[in-house]
Amino acid sequence: MELAFSSEEIVFRDEIRAFIAEKLPESARKNGGRWPHWSKEDVVTWQRILNEKGWAVPHWPVEYGGTNWTAVQRYIFIEELLRTPTPEPLSFNVNMVGPVICTFGNDEQKKYFLPKLRNLDIWFCQGFSEPGAGSDLASLKTSAVKDGDEYVVNGQKIWTSQAHNADWIFALVRTNPNAAKPQMGISFLLIDMKSEGVTVRGIETIDESRHVNEVFFDNVRVPVSNIVGEENKGWDYAKFLLGNERTGIARVGLSRERLGRAKKLAAKLPSFNGPLADDPQFKRKCATVEMQLKSLEITIMRIIDRQRRRNDSAPDPATSMLKLRGAEIQQTTAELLADVAGPMVAPTGQIRAAYEGDFPAELEETLGIIPHYFNSRAATIYGGSNEIQRNIISKGILGL
């Protein structure tokens, strides 16, 4: 990349680095070095710091708080955040619902929501998947029936990440059960989580944590004015959302950061003839990941470059490749970390918590690795599983 970035871009990168070094709060810095990373407060605080600087939503149109950076600058920015690491700007707000409102929302919605999304005054979650609608998302059943100037929403969402932290949910709801195609009867609705009839139930995951939830809607009354864009056009907006800023989905910086972490940890642990970090097998695995990341990084640059030229909002099926490979590599780095930790992965969360402060400080992070590994298995499932991404490539690009 060094050669590829112009000198202006290098200056830009250094500016980002300096800003992070100066402004990242101590708590976030400390939590970034352990698993799991950040508290809600860390995420909110950091996004507000970015917002104050004017960097919370670089890719939004300038009139809504964007920075007018080039696509390459935006890539540099997010990669610097990831590899430091800092808390990530909340994707639901800045990459998903924000751009949808910017593009399809009405003036009132823009005025009300956009500043709050930027500053994380409102934390959004995403209500797409349902028990019967996963990869086949268009078969979703949660209904919204118009009653005067309100919709009455009934149904259930599932795998709703961060719903327990969220103030609002953007949900795909069925507004026309009789549409010619299931995709044509869906609307994009913003729902206040405090509304009567909304129930959130956590799902315990294999990493002994809570990321995802079930969200139930029982006669929830939502003002008609909370619909984004046109009724029954929600599927188009969802496709826009999934194709928008997907170049960040590969999370190259995150994988590099994890790889660096694995190498550091391996330097402290033994293998046959010296530290594990010097073991040829281990080094070989690291080198393979680095090769894959380099190919992926250039591919991202090519896609960004092409999108800049195309200058339209149609989703680019080539971004499926970034999700596919990015997620696979993230998983490889998580595997690598778990392999380095070795038998130290055994204790359950409760025991690990009890170890706190009573464990060699330099090895403390091994304690959080196994939940991270388990959680990483979701990377090829959420946001369109890797199998779905292959479907998109074979249909959208290869024409099969």
Partner 1 sequence: MRSNVISYLKVFWGFKMDFELSNEQQLLKDSVSRLIADNYDLQKRGAIIKSADGYSKTVWKQLADLGLLGLSFSSNYGGFDGGPVEQMIVLEAFGTGLLIEPYLATIVLSGTAIQSAADENKKSELLSAISNGDHLMAFAHSERLSRYQLSQVETRAQLKNGNWILNGEKTTVLHGGIADTIIVTARTKGSDRSTDGISLFLVPAKTKGITVNSYPTIDGMQAADIKLSNVSVPQNALLGECDKGFLIIENIEQHGIAAVAAESVGAMQCVLDMTVDYLKTRTQFGRPIGDFQVLQHRAADMYVAVEEARSIAIYAAMMTTEKDTEKRRHAMATTKAQIGVSCREVGQGGVQLHGGIGITEEYAIGHYFKRLSMIERQFGDVEHHMTTLSMMDSPD
Q: Which residues are catalytic?
A: 245
Q: Residue 228 burial by CB count (10 A; 0-12/13-18/19+): exposed, middle or buried? A: buried
Smaller CB separation from partner 1, 72 or 190 = 72
Q: Which is nearer to partner 1, 194 or 309 (CB)?
A: 309
> Between residues 5 and 355, which has the closer beta carbon with respect to partner 1?
5
CA atoms within 13 A on the CB side of 146: 12
# residues contacting partner 1 (CB under 8 A): 45
387 in contact with partner 1 (CB under 8 A): yes
Question: Is 311 a residue that touches partner 1 (CB under 8 A)?
Answer: no
Question: In a 3-state reduction of DSSP, which class is residue 175?
Answer: coil
DSSP percent split of the chain into helix, strand, coil, nearest 5: 55, 15, 30
Site for partner 1 in 253-272 (CB under 8 A): 256
> Which residue stretch of 116-124, 170-178, 187-195, 300-308 sits at the interface with partner 1 (rule: CB under 8 A)?
300-308
Helix (H, G, I), strand (E, B) or coil at 44: helix
- Binding segment for partner 1 (CB under 8 A), chosen from 20-28, 133-141, 164-172, 302-310, is 302-310
Binding of residue 53 to partner 1 (CB under 8 A): no
Beta pairing, strands 143-147 & 212-223: unpaired
- Helix (H) or strand (E) segment spanning residue 19: helix 7-23
Report the C-alpha gap between 233 and 230 in whole angstroms: 6
Question: CA-to-CA distance for 53 and 279, rounded, in angstroms?
Answer: 44
Tokens of 185: 């009867």
Q: State which of residues 68, 106, 288, 348 lies at the interface with partner 1 (CB under 8 A).
A: 288
Please state the closest distance from residue 323 (CB atom) to partner 1, in A: 11
Is there binding between residue 390 and partner 1 (CB under 8 A)? yes
For residues 204 to 243, the per-residue mask of contacts with partner 1, x marking binding by CB under 8 A and - elsewhere, is ----------------------------------------
140 CB burial (10 A radius; 0-12, 13-18, 19+): buried
Interface residues with partner 1 (CB under 8 A)? 1-6, 9, 72, 256, 280, 283-284, 286-288, 290-299, 301-302, 305-306, 309, 318, 321, 324-325, 387, 389-391, 393-395, 397-400
